[in-house]
Amino acid sequence: MKNYESTKIKNIAVAGNYGSGKTTLTEALLYEAGVVDRMGKVADGNTVSDHTAEEIQRKCSVYTSMSFYERDGFKINLIDTPGLIDHEQSMVEGISACGCALITVSGRSGVKVGTHKAYKYAQKMGKPAMFVVTKLDDENANFNNVLTQLKTEFGPTVCPVVVPVIADRKIVSYVNLIEMKAYKYENGKAVETDMPTAEISEKMEYRIDGLIEAVSEAVAETDEELFEKFFSGEAFTQKELIDGIHKGMNDGIITPVTCVSAATMAGIDMLMKEITLLLPVPEENETAADSPAAAQVFKTVADPFVGKMSYIKVMSGTLKSNSELINTATGAAEKIGKLYYLEGKKQIETAEAVCGDLCAAVKLSANTGDTLCDPAAQVTFDKPEFPIPTYRVAVKAASQNDESKISGAINRLLEEDMSLRYEQDPDTLEMILVTLGGLHLDSVVGKLKRDFGVDVVTSTPRVAYKETIRKKVKVQGRHKKQSGGHGQFGDVWIEFEPCISDELVFEERIFGGAVPKNYFPAVEKGLQECVKHGVLAGYPVVGLKAILVDGSYHPVDSSEMAFKTAASIAFRDGIPQAEPMLLEPVGNLTVRVPDENTGDIIGELNKRRGRVMGMTPSEEKGLTDVTAEVPIAEMSDFTLTLRQMTQGRGSFSLERSRFEPLPANLMAKVIAFAKTGEQ
């Protein structure tokens, strides 16, 4: 393939809600450009984008996929991103690497949570966006309703540039408002109609002159001279409209709307024209092509056969194969071997990639977000902010044979998935896997088995309860054993009382040598071992002060072991008399929900024994932040409940803050579970 200058490269993330037609749109663009000679279907598992075994099985996108086409002297890189909320981190990867987000909206379903998320990330990263209303061949599609919804949800920046003409619930033609021409499609090919504007208006559900006025008004906002021309009532030329929309997109004040039926190819050629004319090239918003080489890894794939594959965006200069760069995140040298352009799973070797282009390399040690650059001109690019996982499960190997492999396999997945956590709970010692949700978890577990041969089982994490006491007691612990020769003798009197401390507080108040000083450490050691497992349910004991006040010893039979045993007897006999109780961990919760869901979430938190502390308007429009204190034991499935309740728009953070007494009516259940493992 030919080499392109950075001014002739465009990077586009195809993003949007699950089921809005992202992969089908990508496939249609590749087919129209002649990259593939037969258009694949998601249902058949033969598209360029959805090429992994998991995606073919699930019939949906799970990972970001790269492809490209060449058209009108441009190289157009496409990144097809998943729309499922459980794979949101892949949407972030794709949008972060691109100069523009092409956000698909189903003509039937309209704006959904994935639409909002794609638009939010594009805005957050300063990327222009274009809405593409898809699936207009569906008999229940309604472009007018979707356009109205887009304007309502995303404001006055929304500006239609291609709209359908509908008669008898069928699309008659598509009108390009920039060219002011109507096209009808025959066998997927556009044919210009000679339909005059007045006739077009009659057939449309909305006034075309109003739409033309809206486009002109949006363009007028981009330039003072254009504003004066608009104010004087003079019509814009086609070039002025194109340049104005292009500038407006870069400035974030225009979000164009176009429409297609990818399944029938209607509108695809027009969309490609808008991509060429309206969308920015990397050099407009990024670093210069003649600077020293610098690049950023925007995605990592852990392949057990190929090894680590890094998807790279060239940020400046030219990235060449068989060169050496510095990883500014680690300070280590990175040897760049072969470079590839990707067309789905197909790899096309290239000697170099210029500023603004996307490529891939294998066997780098760099991770997602790392910057690779010329050692003589070191820079560091900001890493994208990935969604924080909240769905926690305990994980262990299904068989002992896999125990040694599980950590290594999960660490490989951590390299490619920035929204995955794997950590040990310091209290329960369980290994915890934290994901974005149930589907994300299924994907991880499936990949462990399929790609790494590791079978794991998951379960609800154990709750790190504690035990403590409520009153002061004084007890004797006496250990005496005679078995021929030297016996064993230790005798202590210990006062146990509540205190404020996470550790055992030990004191001695012995008078007259009733217990020799050299046995004090043995008494404390015996108690330290005991507080690891309380008498109620075997949980660690906190808030306990033990005072050694009296005792006796035998000059021959006493020993450190005997006094250690005596102390444990005192603990075993004394704590049940001190009104022991269970403490449960409580966390500080902040949950962000749509305004209309605040009542529902408050009711849900009340069910979970939570205490709502307050509500404040969120920094995000239409959302409210609810703060509460909730028992950790009640939050294991909260991620899934919140997602269902808010259709995926809700999010939360939870930090463990302190321990509180467990209500008496729940103690029996917790104790029984601790002893039997059964709920």
Stretch 124-131: mean pLDDT, rounded? 95
3-state DSSP assignment of residue 570 = helix
- Give the confidence band of 679 by pLDDT, cuts at 50, 70, 90: very low
pLDDT in the model for residue 632? 96
Amino acid identity, residue 571? Answer: F
Q: Looking at the predicted structure, is the pLDDT value of residue 149 above 70? A: yes
pLDDT digits (tens, 9 = 90+) for 293-327: 999 999 999 877 777 899 999 999 999 999 999 99
Segment among 156-170, 268-282, 283-297, 495-509 with least mean pLDDT = 283-297
What residue spans define the domains of the chain?
A: 6-285, 294-373, 391-459, 467-578, 583-676
pLDDT digits (tens, 9 = 90+) for 481-540: 876 667 899 999 999 999 999 999 999 998 888 899 999 999 999 999 999 999 999 999
CATH topology of domain 6-285: Rossmann fold (3.40.50)
Question: What CATH class has 583-676?
Answer: alpha beta
Query: Is residue 215 left, alpha or beta, with left meaning phi > 0 and alpha meaning psi from -120 to 50?
Result: alpha
Distance CA 569, CA 567 (A): 5
Query: Is the distance from CB of 492 to CB of 567 less than 8 angstroms?
Result: yes
Question: What CATH class has 391-459?
Answer: alpha beta
Q: Looking at the predicted structure, is the pLDDT value of residue 427 above 50? A: yes
pLDDT digits (tens, 9 = 90+) for 627-665: 999 999 999 999 999 999 999 999 999 999 999 999 999
What stretch of H or E contains 552?
Answer: strand 544-552
Amino acid identity, residue 49? Answer: S
Q: Looking at the predicted structure, is the pLDDT value of residue 580 above 70? A: yes
Q: Looking at the predicted structure, is the pLDDT value of residue 270 above 80? A: yes
pLDDT in the model for residue 55? 87
Stretch 433-452: mean pLDDT, rounded? 94
pLDDT digits (tens, 9 = 90+) for 162-200: 999 877 778 888 989 888 888 888 877 888 876 655 556
Q: Looking at the predicted structure, is the pLDDT value of residue 79 above 80? A: yes
pLDDT digits (tens, 9 = 90+) for 11-52: 999 999 999 999 999 999 999 999 999 999 998 999 999 988
**Which two structure tokens, joined as six digits, stand for 175?**
């009108």
Stretch 110-125: mean pLDDT, rounded? 95
Same fold, 6-285 and 467-578: no
Q: Looking at the predicted structure, is the pLDDT value of residue 203 above 60? A: no
Better-scored residue on pLDDT, 290 or 70 = 70
| Cβ partners under 8 Å of residue 284, min gap 6 | 99, 250
Percentage of the residues of the chain whose pLDDT score is greater than 90: 73
CATH code matching the domain that covers 467-578, chosen among 3.40.50.2300, 3.30.1360.200, 3.30.930.10, 3.30.230.10? 3.30.230.10
DSSP class of residue 79 equals E
Segment among 85-99, 165-179, 281-295 with least mean pLDDT = 281-295
- Averaged pLDDT of the chain: 91
Q: Using DSSP bridges, classify how beta strands 358-362 and 307-316 pair: parallel, antiparallel or unpaired.
A: antiparallel
Q: Looking at the predicted structure, is the pLDDT value of residue 286 above 70? A: no
Q: The pTM is what? A: 0.88
Segment among 156-160, 561-565, 584-588 with least mean pLDDT = 156-160
Distance CA 666, CA 187 (A): 68
Evaluate whether the domain defined by 294-373 bears CATH number 3.40.50.2300.
Answer: no
